[in-house]
Amino acid sequence: MHGLLILLSIILIVAAFLPLWQTDRWWVRVLDFPRLQLAGVGIVAILLYWASEPDPRRGRSLWILSMLVVATAWQLVHSVRYLPFWPQEVAGAAQCQPDRQFTLLGANVLTPNDEFEKLLAVIEEADADVILLTESDSRWEAAMAPIHADYPQRLSRPLDNTYGMHLYSRLPFNGRFQDRVETDIPSIKGELSLRDGSRVTFHGVHPEPPHPGENSGERDAELVLVGREVREDGGATLVFGDMNDVAWSSTSRLFLETSGMGDPRVGRRLMPTFNAKWPLFRWPLDHLFVSPHFSLVKMERLDGIGSDHFPVLFTLCLTDDAEERLVAPEADAETEAEADEQLQEGQAEAVDERNGEN
């Protein structure tokens, strides 16, 4: 028993600090995801180690126990920013003019899922102005026909590779799909017109996650490209979707620093959206990031729709002139250098992958 605890402790220590290695290797990057779950296991291991070791305050036992405590604390630190006492990155809206307020509904529908009526019920109840669906194929496109009358502005790219995407809007929307890094991994860039006539840039994203045989380079490169577009545009901008990355990862941090955007969950709550089917194994994969032009009215995680993701609903208020630049034209030199490196690595991985297919 004691030997197994030592082995478990070493594994937990390595898992906590290995993501500090700046690499795109999938087996490193996936350790960013279950930090809270690994912290829970770490707490149990600390208690068991203390109870089973005759004298845990001496020699090797003290070293292992100390490192395990530090590793567990490090895992927990990543979620501290999402507790209510932390300063908010996106201010709350005390009041908002109705024509400058709007709602966004996002849902990864899970391509094989056929519980279409659940999503339709959620859409009806949410009454959102803009809906973004990811993992949507031609079956999901056909199933959404009942909402077409309410959402005349539509953009669709049904795909069978789990990267299809559909946008529905009541507000005027002018946009198009882009394959920024990988073929058939689309994203959306467009312009959304609010009821007062303000024009807001909208990015819908769903990059490929790290998994066996697929490193994180292409995902990270796509987010760098989007982040740089946001900062270059300078005006009111939203980035919305299933980013296949947790909010506390180095990739998300780099994106926020590159773009100058804020996360409305910081200082409020974490709101994990995946995996909807496994309550003990959940983390936040579905995100909304906003430029400083916006304040938050409300954010919600909605009822399940048969997918492995919960839908999310955000209500925002445009509080500043949408065309005003509220962030510096460039990020600091260290951030730009890191973004350059990440972009080059990701684009090289994409080229290697295409060459391998040919």
Angle, to 10 degrees, between the axis of helix 2-17 and the axis of helix 59-77? 40
CA angle 356, 18, 218 (to 5 degrees): 30
Q: What gap in Å lies between CA 230 and CA 238, rounded to an integer? A: 9
- Is 268 strand, coil or helix? coil
Tell me the C-alpha to C-alpha distance, in Å, between residue 238 and each of 80, 184, 317: 24, 22, 12
Q: Which of 15, 4, 29 is nearest to 74 (CA)?
A: 15
Residue 5's pLDDT band, with cuts at 50, 70 and 90, is: confident
Residue 325 predicted with pLDDT over 90 = yes
Q: What is the pLDDT of residue 228?
A: 95
- How large a percentage of the chain has pLDDT more than 70? 96
Does the structure show a pLDDT above 60 at 59? no
**Residue 340 host element (H or E):** helix 333-357
> Which of 71-75, 188-192, 206-210 has the lowest average pLDDT?
206-210
> Is pLDDT at 4 greater than 60 in this prediction?
yes
Average pLDDT, the chain: 93
Residues 201/234, Cβ–Cβ less than 8 Å: no
Residue from 313, 312, 309 nearest 276 by CA: 309
Location of structure tokens 């860039």: 189
Summarised one tens digit per residue, pLDDT across range 85-139 is 999 999 999 899 999 999 999 999 999 999 999 999 999 999 999 999 999 999 9
Q: How many CB atoms lie within 10 A of CB 239?
A: 26
Give the Cα separation of 113 and 254 in Å (integer).
Answer: 33
In tens, the pLDDT along 272-297 reads 999 999 999 999 999 999 999 999 99
Is residue 73 over pLDDT 90? yes
